[in-house]
């Protein structure tokens, strides 16, 4: 299991990106959360098997049809959180 902290920049707020991320997380069996950040980026914590997390990050880079992802910053977190699902934080 890997746990990543992901910051997605670009046109990612007001375009359904958090819902897109949640849908893809469920599709790939990823646990964690997503929320809008004050700097107009989207912040994600993703926990899952390496292969599923890699696929999840790949689709996050592509975004949904309404978003325009310009940058994705990823850092590895020490696996300490145990999430039951993938939630949108407000």
The answer to whether 36 is a known catalytic residue is: yes
Q: How far apart are CA 85 and CA 5, in angstroms?
A: 16
Catalytic choice (36, 40, 61, 64):
36
Q: Which helix (H) or strand (E) holds 33?
A: strand 31-36
In angstroms, the CA 60 to CA 64 distance is: 8
Which among 18, 40, 64, 71 is annotated as catalytic?
Answer: 18
18 has catalytic annotation:
yes
Q: Which residues are catalytic?
A: 18, 36
């Amino acid at each position: 299991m890997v746990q990543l902290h992901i910051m997605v920049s670009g046109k990612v707020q007001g375009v359904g990106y958090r819902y897109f991320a949640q849908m893809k997380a469920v599709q790939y069996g990823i646990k964690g959360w997503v929320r809008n950040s004050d700097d107009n980026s989207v912040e994600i914590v993703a926990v899952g098997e390496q292969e599923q997390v890699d696929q999840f990050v790949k689709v996050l880079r592509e975004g949904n049809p309404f978003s325009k992802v310009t940058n994705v910053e990823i850092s590895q977190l020490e696996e300490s959180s145990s999430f039951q699902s993938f939630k949108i934080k407000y």
